[in-house]
Amino acid sequence: MPSLKRIYSVIKEDIQTIYEKDPAAENLLEVILCYPGLHALILHRIAHKLNYWKIPLIPRMLSNFSRFLTGIEIHPNARIGRRFFIDHGMGVVIGATTIIGDDVLLYQGVTLGGTGKEHGKRHPTLGDNIVVGSGAKILGNINIGSNSRIGAGSVVIDDVPENSTVVGIPGRIVHQKLLIEGQLFHNRIPDPVTCQLNRLKYEVQELKSKVDEMSKKEG
């Protein structure tokens, strides 16, 4: 009975998280029937428990059924924390040794994958309160620090410290807080390459001004 109560509590939290993070969620019935991210998560929690009990085959069958039903692939061995939300979700892939903390939000097309055929831990570890933008790829046995943001379309292959924002291919760390009321504003993510080019542009302009001044004095 305590186990059933805990499962009910976790699912209730998952539903409440959708209400908090998706302004399109209007009522309980809509969330239960029309949110593939919730369906995939519930099926994963069941498959993960069966996998933990060492029950063969059935966890993978549930995982494959979930992928067919929702377009979201989560390996039964992946460990997912509380209040996890996959927004839209089509094309999301979460590998076998992935570890995800609490209060994590993934958008569609995200891959938490490996980089080779090595055994052991080969997929990412995500801390708490992380947002991963649409189409982002986080690859390999790397750590993404809590309170970090991964920009849409980024490819991350190195560790990311806490409270960081990562953008680009390969992902570059930009230490700016871009979180407003729990949402990642994709249009406000800085471009570190552009910032660097602008800095060089200003330096060239400054040097040019100094050269012009020296030329005038000599003339």
pLDDT tens digits, one per residue of 29-81: 888 888 898 999 999 989 998 999 999 999 999 999 999 999 999 999 999 99
- Nearest Cα to 40, choosing from 11, 66, 75, 76? 66
Cα distance between residue 142 and residue 153, in whole Å: 18
- Nearest Cα to 96, choosing from 114, 117, 82, 81? 114
Interior angle at CA 45, CA 42 and CA 51, nearest 5: 140
pLDDT in tens, 81-137: 988 999 888 999 999 999 999 999 999 999 999 887 778 899 999 999 999 999 999
Look up tokens 């969330």; give the residue: 31
Cα distance between residue 162 and residue 165, in whole Å: 9
Burial 95-126 (b: 16+ CB within 10 A, else e): bbbbbbbbbbbbbbbbbbbbeeeeeeebbbbb
- Nearest Cα to 186, choosing from 135, 122, 125? 135
DSSP 8-state assignment for residue 206: H
On the question of pLDDT at 191 being above 80, the answer is no
Look up tokens 């891959």; give the residue: 111
